[in-house]
Chain A
């Protein structure tokens, strides 16, 4: 403890970590305040103390510790989650934009004061001597980086033990889909008067309308539909991807899962009720074409005709997991891919091949499919999954801008 301790670092009992952690922590506190959360300055020493009591390398523990102390209102939870994920990002090669406005604008229109770049003067002058933000500041917690190697290792090359580790890590990722406005109302600060409550409450004042309660639109999570290729060319990734489906189905609100090689099979219930291994065994029985070729077009057609109307309602996001090796008719593929895009809020294509350097979607299937997806992401290692988790988080109100792909050709 040779370095001098600043006045803002709490009393003697507050642990000192060295490095940037404490500074990061305080910055994080300010970020949360800037977002409009109720975080009083005096909880920050408690947070610092709490972090000394837990194994700080475990991100989920750190998350829960901070959340327990810093969030005091239920409606701040999503804000906190977003701030946490934005701020405590493990990789340094992913510079964080502090333009938090883009994050919260739709949710809180009234609050405009955010945490601005760290160099700018905050309301309190003593805090002005905080060092300016640099990239290293964000890179957190050394123990965490021990996982780096695992994070960038291709799923296909992993050993059983590593896959186990990935499975646990996957479960800890904060899976959440974007949200949509439903057509329902709940009590809250909205534009609509809630006449029923108004009458009930104001009767006690002799019918004088002192309170005018309002209602606001209820926000709901979006449903997710996964269509996962388990054909021969994808075999190496099948296991992890099924695990991925299992994780999603168990951590999110409404997930429908399908697998296909040459035929489409719905595995939603299977995955939800059983372990992945049991589900895989069962799918192995019901889906007889594990090693066969892929006919993506026919599969999508089957999906569109039989399932789309049942599962793609209410602004669903579609995850299509395939390497794009198509042995079917490209015309069918383009037609059905377009239909799929038109009936989904967003189509995200996850391709394990995309992670390998130099891959370009030049196979016939991939070239046909590409114009009809809204996002094209790699899914070959854990880092990819984290990226996906972040992307899903950000799927917000607006549908991605789409060009009519067919018109261009």
Chain B
């Protein structure tokens, strides 16, 4: 399935994920070398999607950890279930249990709540390594990065009361970042790095065709060409592939067979998310972009 780069490309395509060769190579290498993959790229270029696709292709579980500022080990690794422990403690007291009994009974696996990282390690320890998606790592703080570094180098965790969980076959780790800050070199060094760029016309067209199969080929070409033109403009936030797909679906929902400046204006909120950007292109510009997009779409056809 992932034996060669070509096989990887083919597998991804079967999963409806259109990848370029560079990306397939990165995935192939990561699986071979058992290293985490670090994806960076603008929002909406399909970073998170890769994890889902891999999990589905490998027929394994996907464990997702969404990062946020303040994420710490009790939310990422494990936490004891304190309310239950407290109740149980009172029961033990009532039954006159000794101190040792209490300690032995209170800190058992039963009261441990596994968070994403521990879940992934436990599954791996059981012989079914999952795909572990650490999403938007740039949102977490530096402290968490350091913690992650430790986990990613050993793939083991020691819980003082219970012992060590060690993954013989480490999970497939996918880290994504939107580059709202720089991730430390130490972490990047342990990963295979891949920058996902905006796709070429042909690639984006295949993606739209794959993800929104009901769009007529000519409209799909036009949409793609239009978005590609938009990315050439000086925008604060250029539309990602996710926006292109959304737009295609939106146009189907509106029963549109082709693009006109009016339709573009009405639906522009699907692809551009900043008021400044919308203001920079008025209806006259729409017409101009549309004309260029038409020519390109025909050339490509």
Contacts and interface: CB of A to CB of B under 8 A. Distances in A.
Interface of A: 182-185, 195-196, 199, 203, 206-207, 304-305, 309-311, 313-314, 335
Given A182-B70, A310-B180, 4 more contacts: A182-B69, A184-B72, A196-B74, A207-B89
Interface residues of B, number: 25
Given A313-B181, A314-B181, A184 B102 contact: no
A207 B92 contact: yes
Interface string B57-87: 0000000000011101010000110100100
Nearest to B98: A206
B20 interface: no
Contacts of A304: 236
B106 interface: yes
A183 B70 CA distance: 4
Given A183-B69, A203-B102, A310 B80 contact: no
A311 B69 contact: no
Given A304-B236, A314-B181, A203 B69 contact: no
A310 B74 contact: no
Given A203-B106, A207-B89, A310-B181, A195 B72 contact: no
B99 interface: yes
A310 B43 CA distance: 13
Contacts of A196: 74, 79-80
B188 to A, nearest CB: 14
Contact of B180 (A182, A313, A335): A313
Contact of A207 (B93, B141, B276): B93
Contacts of B74: 196
17 contacts: A182-B70, A182-B141, A183-B68, A184-B70, A184-B72, A195-B82, A196-B79, A196-B80, A199-B82, A199-B85, A203-B99, A203-B102, A207-B93, A207-B102, A207-B106, A304-B236, A310-B181
B189 to A, nearest CB: 16
A83 B70 CA distance: 31
Given A195-B82, A206-B102, A304-B236, A309 B69 contact: no
B182 interface: yes
A387 B180 CA distance: 31
A204 to B, nearest CB: 8
A182 B234 CA distance: 34
Contacts of A309: 179-180
Interface string B170-190: 000000000111100000000
B143 interface: yes
B103 interface: yes
Contacts of B276: 335
B4 to A, nearest CB: 36
A232 to B, nearest CB: 26
